[in-house]
Amino acid sequence: MILNIHGFTAEGNNSKYRWLCENAPHHEIYSPTFYYMNEDPQDILEHLVNKVSSYRRENPDNLMDVYVVGSSFGGFFAKLINQIFPDVTALLVNPSLAPFLTLREHLGSKCKLYLDLLAKHAYEDEHGNQERLHVIIGDSDEVIDHGKLTKPLLPLRFKNLYTIRGGMHQLDMYSEVESIFKSIIQSPVGAAEGDCPVHYCGERKLL
């Protein structure tokens, strides 16, 4: 299964979802639309955790076949999923790991909720599986200063950092980014030609 989490002003049917549908057809893909301004981040995280937990219960032999992709603001939640489930592989694209700083003007009083959520999972961050965490950043990102707001929040001696030369904040799935995705996302164990799992984007489902 691939869980795709969109950015702050985007929606489930983003460029990553469309690319995944075309290039990872043997995976179940779940890409819900969140209205971040109106939702409690704890509720969003619980929804994502429940989706991963449900898949793992139904597929106990494929626990390593779960991926989470997080773009920009969605990267905040994708990293938390990787911390909670260390065997889940996470791909973060220009992640906003400190939204209470990068989006404080938009989040207002909700900033504290995001800070509290980060603090709540700090222990898991220290003891997670950083081998399954991958971060892609553009060195010309005009929205997030990754030197100050991304790299310091990654694990010590973190290795899986990919820098796209000239990459802006809107990193679409062109050659270099696509190659990184293809090198990480593998077909599910036991996948057969013609398998067509559900691909879903839109309003979040009741789980």
CATH number for the domain harbouring residue 143: 3.40.50.1820
Q: What is the mean pLDDT of residues 40-58?
A: 95
- CB within 8 Å of 162: residues ≥ 6 apart: 134, 135, 136, 137, 180
| Residue 158, domain extent | 2-187
Residue 197 lies in a domain: no
Q: Tell me the C-alpha to C-alpha distance, in Å, between residue 170 and each of 95, 102, 104.
A: 11, 15, 20
Residue 158 lies in a domain: yes
Q: What is the mean pLDDT of the chain?
A: 89
Residue 151 backbone class (left: φ over 0; alpha: ψ -120 to 50; beta: rest): alpha
d(CA 199, CA 125): 30
pTM of the complete model: 0.92
Residue 118 lies in a domain: yes
Q: Walk across the sheet containing 199-203 and list its strands.
A: 161-164, 133-138, 89-93, 67-71, 2-5, 29-33, 199-203
Residue 26 lies in a domain: yes
Q: How many domains does the chain have?
A: 1
Residue 192 lies in a domain: no
Residue 200 lies in a domain: no
Residue 122 lies in a domain: yes
- CB within 8 Å of 163: residues ≥ 6 apart: 137, 138, 139
Kindly report, residue by residue over 163-184, the tens digit of the pLDDT. Answer: 999 999 998 887 899 999 999 9
Residue 207 lies in a domain: no
Q: Where residue 33 falls among pLDDT bands split at 50, 70, 90?
A: very high
